[in-house]
Amino acid sequence: MVVPPPPRSTIEKLRSRLKETFFPDDPLRQFKGQTLKKKLLLGAQCIFPILNWGPNYSPKLFKSDIVSGLTIASLAIPQGISYAKLANLPPIVGLYSSFVPPLVYAVLGSSRDLAVGPVSIASLVLGSMLMQEVSPNNDPILFLELAFSSTFFAGLFQTSLGFFRLGFIIDFLSKATLIGFMAGAAIIVSLQQLKGLLGITHFTKEMGLVPVLSSVFHNIKEWSWQTILMGFCFLVFLLLARHVTMRKPKLFWVSAGAPLVSVILSTLVVFASKANNHGITVIGKLQEGLNPPSWHMLHFHGSHLGLVMKTGLVTGILSLTEGIAVGRTFAALKDYQVDGNKEMIAIGFMNMVGSSTSCYVTTGSFSRSAVNHNAGAKTAASNIVMSVTVMVTLLFLMPLFQYTPNVVLGAIIVTAVVGLIDIPAAYSIWKIDKFDFVVTLCAFLGVIFISVQQGLAIAVGLSIFKILLQIIRPKTAMLGKLPRTDIYRNLHHYKEAARIPGFLILSIESAVNFANCTYLNERILRWIEEHEAEEDMEKQSSLQFVMLDLSAVSSIDTSGVSLFKDLRKTMEKKGVELVLVNPLGEVLEKLQKADEAGDFMKPDNLYLTVGEAVASLSSTMKGQSSTMYEGT
Amino acid sequence: MVVPPPPRSTIEKLRSRLKETFFPDDPLRQFKGQTLKKKLLLGAQCIFPILNWGPNYSPKLFKSDIVSGLTIASLAIPQGISYAKLANLPPIVGLYSSFVPPLVYAVLGSSRDLAVGPVSIASLVLGSMLMQEVSPNNDPILFLELAFSSTFFAGLFQTSLGFFRLGFIIDFLSKATLIGFMAGAAIIVSLQQLKGLLGITHFTKEMGLVPVLSSVFHNIKEWSWQTILMGFCFLVFLLLARHVTMRKPKLFWVSAGAPLVSVILSTLVVFASKANNHGITVIGKLQEGLNPPSWHMLHFHGSHLGLVMKTGLVTGILSLTEGIAVGRTFAALKDYQVDGNKEMIAIGFMNMVGSSTSCYVTTGSFSRSAVNHNAGAKTAASNIVMSVTVMVTLLFLMPLFQYTPNVVLGAIIVTAVVGLIDIPAAYSIWKIDKFDFVVTLCAFLGVIFISVQQGLAIAVGLSIFKILLQIIRPKTAMLGKLPRTDIYRNLHHYKEAARIPGFLILSIESAVNFANCTYLNERILRWIEEHEAEEDMEKQSSLQFVMLDLSAVSSIDTSGVSLFKDLRKTMEKKGVELVLVNPLGEVLEKLQKADEAGDFMKPDNLYLTVGEAVASLSSTMKGQSSTMYEGT
């Protein structure tokens, strides 16, 4: 009954393997059977998704996009300024980064809801990593150069991932890791805002929970009551606005507009009361004008190259993860497809262009994309509207921010990152999978107590270790027959399943390879010993067949093949026969190739189902045990 | 029919998980239900396996052991001297290392066949790694100190692996890796012998194929014909002896005795002809006496600590792998058990003791253990006999080696390592698994062209990458019904299997977790699209049920649970129902916990076998397709 799979050459196998690895989405599917002209058009649409929606763009769509575009602009301007400060960059860089990248994304990106610009986590990580080598206060120009260079490498890395179809690398940031990491990062970010919210001037440069809190409480005399009062008022206002929107998503404009309202109100208050002379620090004079070119500021060699590349790698992965996840979430809601690898190229290209036009790392932001979606965005044109609004601000409105107090920026950041702490999700992880929760916890504690990058690294390492552990110690189960059926299932799970005397039926629930063949050998021998010990006690018929159900063994390597050969030899010495059941195509093929003597392929050693094997083999057994089988 | 597994608390699960991970062999099994006295005796036997065989030791066993002990001693003495030179250590250290460690192993080791002493690969790696920082010619004392220190850390590392039951770490050196690595190392070792075999005095200090060959051919004028002639004669003699033994294993003493005969003959020739004055270099005067203590030479701090620990780690793993593999091979031949973790403690302790008594890294050697086994060794007492023979040599026979020419040591090494090149094994790997062969090839080429450690690291990295790739891109298969049965199997493998109209039956052949849930989502949706496209062409009934056979999904995490939730939502939008078949215990449990709405646990969404599900669901389908099902 068991037949070998149809033969395929090594080249064919390699081709199908490479295709599944790098082109699981079969991106050329739509090109099949089209005319050349159509193919060229499809190709252009593939590279520039704007060609998909641009030609059919209508005034009705534009009406939706202009509303959502203006809404996200009102959020993007204060957030841009705030996040740039979080990255220790001049506030204006945050606005530059909300101007060029959205335009690039509108042309290349395939999501209709992504609102592009600087985000909190990438800003925090960029700032904290660069601070390890360069001080943003003592050497602001170098710091800025390194930030642009990191942005370039982040973009290059993102584009390469997409181009070489290695997008699966971001899958290694599991949901469990991200939830812990983002909660930790939100706390670190909020702690940093204590500087602005309390008006402290001598603040630690470290990021961890302990040094920041100790710095806060060692500088109590620097606390400024005017700042604290103002910060408290605006924080309450912003959190209330956020609460309203969370309760009634239709009132999205409440939380979307609140930051801009806060900025305007606080600026007016400061301007009117001259509070900047009474302990409240303000942003100060900002330069007018559009993004200056910055390609001459990129570092491609020199002593900081290693740092810049590392920072690019980490911020690149983080911002990619956020952008892709946001894109996929809203695509699923509106039932359209977002191609991960294409998005990576779009985001990466946007960052490379950004790095030459005074922008730092940008991506699609969770919070702004949600506002964009709720405000009814229909196409990426909402990003263009936002971009134009930011351009107008850059050209004409910069002097208005001169009196904006830093404290209100802190309040805006805290309100934005509070949403990253997702306690229900963490609870659901705890409920479903304890080990995943350990990963979440390690990411969280690692970020707040050690450092942002190391917390992330620990969590990713743990996640991979968990996968490897499942390979190193695969599960094996003893199967029994369910009464009145021919179905064999795990005896420990299905209590009514019964053993068949003279048979030991084991299922192996993993690929068999070098990392687990020693374990599996020992474990199977232990199953046999335990089985024999129990039989001795129950005075049952002795073991005649050990049956391995290979239905769940998805692949095997040379070490795995040796395992079965060795097991067969050991069994023979004990007078027990080894029977294999339902090896899958690849496994069967390799066993066949390795089996010069033809032992594995003998019809009475190889069956398609356990039931079949038991029925066929028990007829060959000694009369006594055969009758016992009939009795079960 | 599908019932949840019996509930277990988190603690219970953790306990059984930890037990399977660290105590898969259930080492305390034999202690169960014994009296205290018996338990103590068993415990002592466990720590000192000599107590197992010592009390029953008989003159008959001793007769066997003395023959095999003397045989391996005749091999160990010339090999000890040669391998020490390979590690750039004074020749006498090789003899010291054949005296103390075998005694320690005889008390602690559980293999009856392992012949302990220095081995070629560990010697090569130790020498080449230490040479990176210290020159053995310019600073021989420091070099010796670092060698002893590395030996100490190798022993410490080995003991810790065994003690903390982390023995599975050596499983990561797969057979494919080792075959490539050993072949490469054999070539590197042989190339190093060209110095001795050709009589070159100015030889490169590098190890790679290219620098060594270029050094050999740039120094043609240094070649000494006397040396080459002598080396050629002895090499032919040794290889012939090896060939005889390979043909007739009963003549084991031919190849076992040949090295000692070569040493004696060549020494006599040199002594008689005064050839040491005519271009043939000799070992020179060796110190008499037993191992001096060396614990005061160990480095536990200082600038070389990092190198010493790294060298200890690499040589420790390599020698452990060889020792354990040899022990297991011969244990399987004679049908007794070798406990991996206990062996690690024995080998590690032996190296720690060795490092304080002027010995460098030792382990069980492939070649000498084979001779030991063929010579009829019955217990570890043969190691004691060998050790005593080496002691006698150290005390009284050292002056005899003064005229032993270096060229003969080179010939002995080359003959010993030739056996490490296992072309039939490499061919069989090529035949069975092409990717494994790539690993073999990378290890081989990495070792000969880059460096011994990096070749090894590349191969191990590739092996782990292969495992991860199988997780990242798990196989999915479409199942069909085998005619005249209720069995569903892969349509691409079993050509006679037939589809059921209205059903798409997929099996997932891997654990579902964060690393593959994005891929699986896309892949399953593509299966559905392809299925629908084909149905359109064939004008068949449209898809009503997507069935996922989870028999091979051994585990799941929170991301995997989300995958099924998301899939269910996507399916609902398409008007297709998602049906799960045969989730294993852990998977079922987690789906249940995550499923507040009870969607997954509904009886018509969850079946025990595909056949059952198809039978039950097709009765609920529209009459037309139900009749079609009857017709298949």
pLDDT digits (tens, 9 = 90+) for B316-371: 999 998 898 888 888 878 878 788 888 999 999 999 999 999 999 999 988 888 88
Please give the average per-residue pLDDT across B473-493, as a whole number. 89
Q: What is the pLDDT of residues B527-537, one digit of tens each?
A: 888 888 887 77
pLDDT surpasses 90 at B403: no
Distance CA A509, CA B53 (A): 39
Residue A235 — pLDDT band, cuts 50, 70, 90? very high
Q: Residues 6 or more apart from B436 whose CB is under 8 A from it? A: A557, A558, B174, B176, B429
User: Is A429 at the interface with chain B, CB within 8 A?
Assistant: yes
What residues of chain A lie within 8 A of the CB of B594, using their CB? 428, 431-432
Higher pLDDT, B505 or A575: B505
Mark yes or no for CB contact B558/A493 under 8 Å: no
Contact assessment for residue B476 and residue B447, using Cβ atoms and an 8 Å cutoff? no
Per DSSP, B385 falls in state H
Helix, coil or strand: residue B506: strand
pLDDT of the residue at B311: 94
pLDDT of the residue at A626: 42
Please give the average per-residue pLDDT across A355-359, as a whole number. 94
Please give the average per-residue pLDDT across B468-488, as a whole number. 89
pLDDT of the residue at B625: 44
Mark yes or no for CB contact A518/B168 under 8 Å: yes
Max Cα distance, chain B (Å): 104
What residues of chain A lie within 8 A of the CB of B581, using their CB? none
Higher pLDDT, A202 or B115: B115
Please give the average per-residue pLDDT across A559-565, as a whole number. 89
SS (H, E, C) A306-347: HHHHHHHHHHHHHHHHHHHHHHHHHHHHHCCCCCHHHHHHHH
Residue B105 — pLDDT band, cuts 50, 70, 90? very high
CA atoms within 13 A of residue B90's CA, in its CB half-sphere: 18
Q: What is the pLDDT of residues B120-148, one digit of tens each?
A: 989 999 998 998 889 988 999 999 999 99
| Closest chain A C-alpha to B543 CA, distance in angstroms | 19
User: Is B21 at the interface with chain A, CB within 8 A?
Assistant: yes
Tell me the backbone φ, ψ of residue A138, rounded to 5 degrees.
-80, -30
Tokens at B366, concatenated: 């492939």
Q: List all residues of chain A from 87 to 106 with a beta carbon under 8 Å from chain B.
A: none
Please give the average per-residue pLDDT across B56-69, as a whole number. 90
Please give the average per-residue pLDDT across A558-570, as a whole number. 88
pLDDT of the residue at A625: 44
Higher pLDDT, B630 or B618: B618
* Mutation to test the B interface, candidates A492, A558, A570, most B Cβ within 10 Å: A558
What residues of chain B lie within 8 A of the CB of A473, using their CB? 20-21, 24, 168
What residue of A is the nearest CA neighbor of B435?
A557
| Closest chain A C-alpha to B75 CA, distance in angstroms | 31
What residue of B is the nearest CA neighbor of A566?
B332
Please give the average per-residue pLDDT across A39-49, as a whole number. 85
Residue B630 — pLDDT band, cuts 50, 70, 90? very low
Distance CA B445, CA B429 (A): 16
Residue A585 — pLDDT band, cuts 50, 70, 90? confident
DSSP states of A395-424 as a string? IIIGGGGGG-BHHHHHHHHHHHHHTT--HH
State chain A's mean pLDDT as an integer. 87
All domains of chain A, ordered by start, with CATH?
56-467 (no CATH), 473-631 (3.30.750.24)
Q: What is the pLDDT of residues A240-287, one digit of tens each?
A: 998 998 888 888 888 888 888 998 999 998 888 887 777 788 888 888
Q: CA dist B328 to A529, B229, B339, B342, Å?
A: 19, 41, 9, 12
Please give the average per-residue pLDDT across A455-459, as a whole number. 88
What residues of chain A lie within 8 A of the CB of B435, using their CB? 557
pLDDT of the residue at B539: 64
**Reported pTM:** 0.83
pLDDT surpasses 80 at A584: yes
Q: What is the pLDDT of residues B258-317, one digit of tens each?
A: 888 998 999 998 888 887 777 788 888 888 888 899 989 998 888 899 999 999 999 999
User: Is B483 at the interface with chain A, CB within 8 A?
Assistant: no
Mark yes or no for CB contact B467/A515 under 8 Å: yes
In this predicted complex, what is the ipTM? 0.84
Mark yes or no for CB contact B467/A468 under 8 Å: yes
Residue A1 — pLDDT band, cuts 50, 70, 90? low
Question: Taken in order A468, A471, A475, A481, is the CA torsion positive or negative?
Answer: positive
CA A613 to chain centre: 45
State chain B's mean pLDDT as an integer. 87
Q: What is the pLDDT of residues A460-472, one digit of tens each?
A: 898 888 888 888 8
pLDDT of the residue at B632: 40
Higher pLDDT, A276 or A360: A360
Q: What is the pLDDT of residues A104-117, one digit of tens each?
A: 999 999 888 899 99
Q: Residues 6 or more apart from B136 whose CB is under 8 A from it? A: B88, B89, B127, B130, B143
Contact assessment for residue B357 and residue B98, using Cβ atoms and an 8 Å cutoff? no
Distance CA A329, CA B116 (A): 62
Mark yes or no for CB contact A590/B5 under 8 Å: no
Tokens at B524, concatenated: 């399953």
